[in-house]
Structure 1
Amino acid sequence: MIDRLIYPAALAGSLLMTAVGVLWWLAPGSYPFGPDDRYADLALMTYVPRGAAIAVAVILGIAGMVLAAGRRDGPVAIAFAAVAATVLGLLVPDIQVLILAAYAMALAVPSALVAVLANRLLPRLPVAAVFAVAFAAVLGWLSYVARDADPIGARPLFVFGSFAAGAVWAAVLIRLLRAAGGDRPAWTQPEAAARWGRTLTWAAALCPLPYVLTRLSWLTPWPIGESAETLAAHPGLRIFGLALALAGEGGTWLTLGLIRPRGETFPAWLPVVGRRPVPVLAAVIPGLLAAAAITIAGHSILQQAVITGDYLLVLLMPFPLWGPLLAAATFGYWLRRRPSPIPSRPQVSV
């Protein structure tokens, strides 16, 4: 199912990318990056002139449409997919991807906990309805807390659009590499992956702890990453910091699931899916997307640390290390549980 959607998604993404390039050309004010961007010290696109961004968007878009429409393979297609995945998926986006994802987790984790608890206490209550009510309540509270925040405009559409396009081209790259075949090294065998995967998974699971501690510090008189005056003026931020800490701990729990039995069989206490096998892609896709978002945040944190000279940020938010470790841990999980290779269909080489 997913394999059948990869090339249509790449074609649609390339078409949209070309349209974005044309939009930036016709409407200069629509270009969301540059020195006046609120994320200027966190985005690599700050240093990319609008004209260069337009050229890259149009060239990648047109070339992507040609390759996706023809479903081509070969060295040129592999090289293009690798470049597109890297540029669109890792270099164009910035820490805003992780910020909004973390806020979504801060909404979802408490709501999911309420839904699970309600299901345990009152099994007849529909889980989806309980989750929806809890989510709406948390969303309403968050909207109240963030009522004074500056509007973010359309910038996230471009950032997330690029991230999504990069993810699609990464999927194309994986498919092309699998179709190319070749002998698999010994370290990719399930037994070997289980050994090194366990070590890397534990390392990845420990990485969120400094971030969790910084958010928990908002509950103390010595907050890290936010001023005491701001927290005193907006008490709801302290609770939101706690929610972000819970989201970080949720990330640790999910990461360790890659090497625990719950990574292969859903825990019995989970509604609906309890005791059922975990589909491989249900763990791999979210894991790789999270790893990419964290890696992106890593270059944003490094960029800001260089600009400000505050290298403590890198220690408190070790995203440059966390992202690659999580990607490697997820890759090890996939190597252990991957399905048998599927034969590739004949394609046109370029």
Structure 2
Amino acid sequence: MPPAAAAERTTRTVHRLLLGAAGWSLVHLLVGLRWLLDPDSWPGFDDEGRAGLLAVLHRTPSAWTVTGLAATGLLLAVLGRYRPASRAVAVALAVQAGLLLAVSADVGVLTLLGYLCALVGPAAFLAVLVVGAVRDRRARPWLAAVLGLAVVGVVSGVLRPGTVGRLAGQLGDGFARHAGPPAHLGLVLVGAALFGTAAVLLRRSATGRCQACGRPAARWTEPAAALRWGRLATWAAVAGPLPYALLRLTWLTPWPLGMPEGGDLEPAMRLFGLGLGFAALGGAVLTAGLVRPWGEVWPGWVPVLRGRPVPVAFPVVAGGLVATVLLASTPGMVALAVGEVRDGDPMGWAMLLVFPTLPWGLALAAAVTGYALRRRGTCRSCGRGEPALPLRA
């Protein structure tokens, strides 16, 4: 792609981001006005375990907060469209993104994401593994191990149809009652991403750097340097979900740890613990792909895509999303831990060790950044930069 065409494409990307930010602001302006007219129209303020800003402010103050941020966001999106070289506008967009992150600082989005991964992740992984094992013999031992675990689950009662159906019904009822507030906070995070990304691109333009890649940049952004510190960050991020995964997997044993109060766990709850544990383990395995060759080329057991390059944006967007959710949930996790200690449970701080959202989120953000810097290659817009640095098998 010629440099002029690449630069024009980047400009169009900024315009789309600002258009998306304007649309987000309009939607939330209507939401805020609805809350002002009917403060009880949004359920979930009284849900237990919520510690975010909207829950603390409660109904009418929350409505004014959302309305004010939406109106400000709409104004900034218009200014960014017509004054793209203004440093002040770029800074204001960054501040807007930070305020939206503060609003979304709640454990609700993390809980919703974790439960969705627990429900969808194991089934999707099994489907891909079964299809891939038909054509790749290297995947067959892993498939046999997974099927062996499934047989054990059926014999123990955890994977029997009645247990699965009962769990599906319980989760469906729970989502119907409590998914609204976390879903809204997820939309707030989307707004933060829109404003934040637009701020970065406009800042680059205002400071004379390439809007597409940010070059010229510091030496730590070069591929070789990114591989060195990115590898350390990646293995630190891999360790992040392991304590939680091991805790949940104990629910399959006669000695479950961290179970809810009330005695023995029924099979449906044990199945849920299995799903959460394997979702966390799956996250650790996928994170390791950031510094492994199969994170650059789809492995042979992945149907249709096998042998093709992994698009850089795929792991970057997915990993960046998880890192953002982890960091946004950190204040809520700390607040819940403090609440447990105040209620007389000295082990309240243990949840921060079992689920270390802050160090895990920071490590994952650094790992994803290192992966992106290592694989981005020479910029098609400005021509700067070194070729991508592939890993050796």
Q: Hey, what's the Cα distance between the residues in 2 that align with 1:173 and 1:102?
A: 29
RMSD: 2.7
**Following the alignment from structure 2 to structure 1, what is the Cα–Cα distance between the partners of residues 172 and 217?**
54
188-197 or 88-97, which moves further after superposition?
A: 88-97
- From the superposition, tell whether residues 121 and 326 of structure 1 become closer, same or farther in structure 2 (CA, over 3 Å): closer
What does 1:90-109 align with in structure 2 at a 5 Å threshold?
90-109=102-121
1:261 paired to 2:293: yes
Larger radius of gyration: 2
Deviates more, 1:306-315 or 1:332-341: 332-341
CA contact 1:17–1:58 (8 Å) conserved in 2? yes
Name whichever of 214-223 and 285-294 sits farther off.
Answer: 214-223
Which whole-Å CA distance do the structure 1 matches of 2:98 and 2:124 have between them? Answer: 33
Counterpart position of 1:65: 74
CA distance in 2, matches of 1:43, 1:205: 27
CA distance in 2, matches of 1:275, 1:301: 41
C-alpha distance in 1 between matches for 2:65 and 2:106: 18
Task: Report whether the alignment pairs 1:299 with 2:336.
Answer: no
Structure 1's 141 and 112: CA in aligned 2 closer, same or farther, altered over 3 A? farther
Partner letter of residue 114 of structure 1?
Answer: L
Which piece of structure 1 moves more, 162-171 or 322-331?
A: 162-171
1:67 counterpart letter in structure 2: L
Matches within 5 A, 1:215-230: 215-227=248-260, 229=262
Counterpart residue type for residue 368 of structure 2: T
Distance 2:262 2:340 in 1: 22
Which of 158, 168, 176 aligns to 1:143? It is: 168
**Residue 187 (1) aligns with residue 208 (2):** no
Distance 1:141 1:269, change over 3 A: farther
- Which of 283, 294, 302 in structure 2 is aligned with 1:270? 302
Q: Judge conservation of contact 1:89–1:164 (CA < 8 Å) in 2.
A: no
Q: Is the 8 A contact 1:292 1:323 kept in 2?
A: yes
In structure 2, C-alpha distance between the alignment counterparts of 1:266 and 1:147, rounded to whole Å? 34
Whether the 8 Å CA contact 1:82–1:173 is kept in 2: the answer is yes
Whichever residue aligns with residue 200 of structure 1, its letter is A
Q: Per-residue displacement from partner, 1:285-342 (whole Å, max 9, x unpaired)?
A: 1110010111122222111111222111111111121111111111111111225446
2: CA distance, partners of 1:139 / 1:282:
31
Counterpart for residue 365 of structure 2: 327
Q: Deviations over 1:39-83 (max 9, x none)?
A: 33x323332254443333223222322332342432222222222
Residue 316 (1) aligns with residue 354 (2): yes
Deviation sequence 1:117-155 (CA, Å, 0-9, x none): 3314556xxxxxxxxxxxxx9985642343674821632
Change (3 A) 1:141 1:220: same
Alignment match of 2:21 (pick from 10, 30, 33) = 10
Q: Is the 8 A contact 2:121 2:279 kept in 1?
A: yes
CA contact (8 A) 1:188 1:335 kept: yes
Q: Secondary structure at the match of 1:311?
A: helix
Q: Normalised by the size of structure 1, how large is the TM-score? A: 0.84
Question: TM-score, normalising length from structure 2?
Answer: 0.76
Q: Whole-Å Cα distance in 2 between the matches of residues 162 and 249 of structure 1? A: 28
Evaluate the alpha carbon distance shift between residue 266 and residue 306 of structure 1 in structure 2; reply closer, same or farther with a 3 A threshold: same
Aligned-pair identity in percent equals: 35
Deviations 1:188-237 (A, max 9, x none): 111111111100110011011111011112223333332363653x3211
Structure 1 position 43 matched with structure 2 position 52: yes
282-291 vs 109-118, which deviates more?
109-118
1:330 partner letter: V
Say if 1:213 and 1:143 are closer, same or farther in 2 by CA, change over 3 A: same
Unaligned 5+ segments in structure 1 are: 124-136, 345-350
Structure 2 residue 244 is the aligned partner of structure 1 residue 211? yes
Which residue in 2 is equivalent to 1:83? 95
Would you say the 8 A contact 2:44–2:180 is kept in 1? no
Give the aligned partner of residue 388 of structure 2: none
- Write the distance in 2 (CA, Å) between the matches of 1:147 and 1:230: 24
Choose from 187, 190, 204 the match for 1:178: 204
Instruction: Tell whether the 8 Å contact from 1:287 to 1:327 is kept in structure 2 after alignment.
Output: yes
* 2:267 is equivalent to residue 242 of structure 1: no
The 3 A distance-change label for structure 1 pair 306 and 285 is: same
Q: Which one-letter code corresponds to 2:117 in the other structure?
A: M
Q: Per the alignment, in what secondary structure is the counterpart of residue 40 of structure 2? A: helix
The residue identity in structure 2 corresponding to 1:97 is V
Letter paired with 2:330: G
Q: 1:149-201: CA deviations, max 9, x gaps?
A: 48216323322221221122222123223334264111111111111110011
Residues 84 and 222 of structure 1: CA distance in aligned 2, closer, same or farther (over 3 Å): farther
Distance between the aligned counterparts of 1:341 and 1:89, measured in 2?
30
What one-letter code is carried by the residue in structure 2 that aligns with 1:6? L
C-alpha distance in 2, partners of 1:313/1:278? 35
Contact 1:32–1:155 at 8 Å: present in 2 too?
yes
- The partner residue of 1:27 within 13, 34, 38 is 38
The one-letter code sitting in structure 2 at the alignment partner of 1:334 is A
